Structure 1
Amino acid sequence: MLLRSFFCSGLLVLAGPSVLAGPLFCTTSVEAPPPCSRSAPVEVTVCHPTETTSELINRRLYTWTSPMARGVDPLHQLTDVLGIAVGGIEGNRVMGLGFSDQTLVWDGSALHNTTGALLEEQTPALPLRTLDIPSGFDGSLAATGVNEPGLEPPRAEDFPDITPLW
């Protein structure tokens, strides 16, 4: 009975195979019921598959070339001589025309752009703001006296560990 209600509900069809494997990012919200109905608010959870940072870096690093272990087989040696870029983590995607040194530059550029985007995501949108240091020019120098609190010169008694030179 439980399996039949699960399969009939369409959750398996909506979830699909990409949602059933790998990490998910889920958000839950409370939504109003449909108009003209007297039911209570509905709690809705939406999940999206996510990609970890290490998976993203590996995917971008091997965009144009394949890993070293896969890149030494006869197929990759032939494509390197002909100037055909075969990339991907599995080493099974034809990416375009480019010799091995050129594809390394392309992979380096992809990795550079990826790390820049990751650092941009970690940086807050607004920089941290601190108070300005008082300049001393925001008031009258004639009105300030030496006897005001906070403007007194330091005394030798305030520093018992230091021997005065005078």
Structure 2
Amino acid sequence: MQTTPQLMEQRFFSYTAPFARGVSLTNQITDLFGIAMGGGDGTKVMGFGFPDQTIIWDGTAVENTYQVLLQQQSDPMPWRTGDVSNGYSGSLGSAGSQPDGPSWQDGGASYSAPVRGLW
């Protein structure tokens, strides 16, 4: 089981090493030749890319993780409610009275509870 802060930190250091490990002689030489050392502890070869490219890769990994976490927090289907009366469904003399029961104006259904959208 992994917590959200641990997951984000792992994603942040996917392609680059943490600072202390990144200034070692090995990582400085691999950076010079465009070899990305990352994986959290900075000892795994992650691909070919100079430091500016690995920052972009890490940013993309963080962005993708953030999007997934955000989608998991929200319900994909929005709640919908019945339409509000528009004011033109009655006469001026009745002062906003509504017809009894469902009518053709609201599709023949009564809306007492929220309904799900079809998309």
TM-score range, shorter chain: 0.7 to 0.9
Taking only aligned residues, the RMSD between alpha carbons, in angstroms, comes to: 1.8
Q: Which residue of 1 aligns with 2:38?
A: 87
Structure 2 unmatched ranges of 5 or more = 98-119
Paired residue for 1:132, among 51, 62, 83? Answer: 83
SS of the residue 2:67 aligns to: helix
Letter in 2 for 1:91: G
Q: Deviations over 1:18-66 (max 9, x none)?
A: xxxxxxxxxxxxxxxxxxxxxxxxxxxxxxxx22111111111111101
Displacement, 1:103?
Answer: 0.4
Cα distance in 2 for partners of 1:145, 1:125 equals 39
Q: Which residue of 2 aligns with 1:151?
A: none
SS of the residue 1:90 aligns to: coil
Letter in 1 for 2:61: A
RCO comparison, higher one (Cα < 8 Å, 6+): 2
CA gap 1:86/1:140 in 2 versus in 1, 3 angstroms:
same
Matched pairs, number: 97
Query: Aligned residues: percent identity?
Result: 42
Letter in 2 for 1:144: S
SS of the residue 1:69 aligns to: helix
Letter in 2 for 1:79: T
Rg comparison, structure with higher value: 1
Q: Which residue of 2 aligns with 1:109?
A: 60
CA gap 1:104/1:96 in 2 versus in 1, 3 angstroms:
same
Cα distance in 2 for partners of 1:64, 1:105 equals 9
Structure that is richer in strand per residue: 1
Q: Which residue of 2 aligns with 1:78?
A: 29
TM-score scaled by length of structure 2: 0.73
Q: Which residue of 2 aligns with 1:59?
A: 10
Displacement, 1:131?
Answer: 4.1
Q: Which residue of 1 aligns with 2:108?
A: none
Q: Which moved more, 1:111-120 or 1:50-59?
A: 50-59
